[in-house]
Amino acid sequence: MEIGIDSFASAMYGDNNTLSSVEAMEQLLQRIEFADQVGLDVFGIGEHHKKEFLDSATAVILSAAAARTKQIRLTSAVSVLSAADPVRVYQSFATLDLISKGRAEIVVGRGSSIEAYPLFGFELNDYDKLFKEKLELLLQVRDNEFVTWSGKFRAPLNNLPVYPRAIQEKLPVWLGVGGSPESFVRAGTLGLPLMVAVIGGQTHRFRPLIDLYREAGQANGFKPEELKVGLHSPGYVSATNESAVAEYYPGYAELWTKLGLERGWPPVTKEKFDYLTDEKGVLVLGNPEQVAEKILRHSDALGGISRFTFQMDNAGLTHSQLMNAIELIGTKVKPLIQ
């Protein structure tokens, strides 16, 4: 199982925080570099177009990280493909593949944050149609140097070449999904690796959806080993369970309550937090032994996963706390899982 980190490049703005965007970006690059040094397998950068985050140009951040790392794979988490040009997405990540010498990946999705749609002139009513068409084009560009294609939302291509080409023969494209059964079936039908974002409730409830993915994949001729499943979950690792809760809970409660006001979720309470940190809950939180055990339980519950990524910058944690967690994940959690 691969172990990694996903970040939304939090700028950590706040009344009590004087960190500048320049400082926040430099610290993020330091964390990616350190994750490489302690042996983590993958680092992902999300895509948002909001003041709180610095990840609107995902491939640019990853390219800067590529120049400072040697082994770690670098991916989006996720690229909002519905609001992007698939040709440019491929070109950006193919360039990243050249800079990183073959370590680039893409996780594409429709996006749970919708600010990219009006920003780039797309209608939310076309949410799924945009993604379906653009995913088709992205895969054609990935697999063919010369492309002939036509669709509704973009000008056609008539035997046009797309450059540069990635070093990897088939640049990995994962499908990032939330809870839509159609998305799981789509990934299986196309034989794409699946990255499941579980941010609330209990992780095992996604098993029927992952079964749909595997059934669709096998029905379309893909072997079980080709149908990889990754799991993206919020979490945090500290020396003890008590310190993990003490450091993580206040910022988590504050930020997720604020997000809930935007999305219609109830406020976070300690009782709800404890429910999310129990043995089946989504939050992968505690000391290294507890965290490793929970990741393995989640893997068993989902029928086996190939990759697990922590989303840690959603709780107002400091750079020092995040660096300590990365060190524990690389030196303690990953060896325990392996």
pLDDT above 80 for 98: yes
Question: Buried b / exposed e across 26-62, counting CB within 10 Å, b at 16+?
Answer: ebbbbbbbbbbebebbbbbbbbbbeeebbbbebbebb
CA within 13 Å, CB half, 118: 4
Collect all residues with Cβ–Cβ distance below 8 Å to 35 and sequence separation of at least 6: 4, 5, 43, 72, 326, 330
**CATH class for the domain made up of 2-252+280-337:** alpha beta
What confidence tier does 24 reach under pLDDT thresholds 50, 70, 90? very high
Domain coordinates of the chain in residue numbers? 2-252+280-337
**DSSP annotation of 83:** G
**Whether pLDDT at 18 is above 90:** no
Per-residue CA distances from 142 to 1, 114, 170, 329 (Å): 26, 26, 7, 33
Give 132's Cβ-side CA count (13 Å radius): 12
Percent above pLDDT 70 for the chain: 98
pLDDT bin (cut points 50, 70, 90) of residue 16 is: low
Q: In the beta sheet, which residues pair with residue 233?
A: 310
Confidence of residue 69 (pLDDT cuts 50, 70, 90): very high
- pLDDT digits 0-9 by tens, 26-66: 999 999 999 999 999 999 999 999 988 999 999 999 999 99
**Span 194-204, mean pLDDT?**
94
The DSSP result for 98-165, as a single string, is: HHHTS-EEEEEE--SS-THHHHTT--GGGHHHHHHHHHHHHHHHHH-SEEEE--SSS--EEEEE--SP
Q: What is the pLDDT of residue 17?
A: 65
